[in-house]
Amino acid sequence: MATHAALSWATRQWALWSRALAPVRPLDAPRGRATEWDASWPLPRDTASAGRARRLVTAQLSEWALTDLAETAELLVSEVVTNALRHTRGPLRLNLRVRDARLTCEVEDTESAGPLRRVVDTEAEGGRGTELLDLLADAWGSTETPTGKTIWFELRAEAAPVVVAAAGSGHATR
């Protein structure tokens, strides 16, 4: 029995190590998940990327028949992408995923430090990203990754989504 337990432990450890050491897909490429409920796009380090991210989110949510989430998702994605552009270096990637009537939006970057909460003057033009996430998202957080971190948020859909168009923008992973 001890040999079986040790073998089982060794097998689990090998599986964990092999996943941890597997090649990481670079952020300048879409994430490699292939389902009709996952979409992923690399974003260039450019001030226009926040606008591009808004357009990608709106188009993908329309394809998934989740237009009730579009306005909130667009605002929050814009905020998270803008913060990544301001406070990190290196490539970015935007990921969308739908599971069980919940939309998860992620922005991956190469900086491991998570978002900071600041006390912001009422007349300040910025610094309210975490407040917006607190107010509008059902859940949000930051997860450290092998390449940096992922800032994510979730929104609950009112109805189960459906794919309404067979051909998307060409950027969603299928």
- 58/135 Cα distance (integer angstroms): 20
In the predicted model, what is the mean pLDDT of residues 35-63?
93
Share of the chain above pLDDT 70, in %: 61
The one-letter amino acid code at 16 reads L
Per-residue confidence at 47, pLDDT binned at 50, 70, 90? confident
- Helix (H/G/I), strand (E/B), else coil: 24: coil
- Helix (H/G/I), strand (E/B), else coil: 144: strand
Query: Would you state the pLDDT for residue 10?
Result: 55
Cβ 115 vs Cβ 151: under 8 Å: yes
Cβ 156 vs Cβ 147: under 8 Å: no
Structure tokens at 125: 């033009």
- 26/138 Cα distance (integer angstroms): 29
pTM: 0.71
**55-111 tens-digit pLDDT:** 999 999 999 999 999 999 999 999 999 999 988 888 899 999 999 889 999 999 988
Most confident of 13-22, 26-35, 151-160: 151-160
- 135/128 Cα distance (integer angstroms): 11
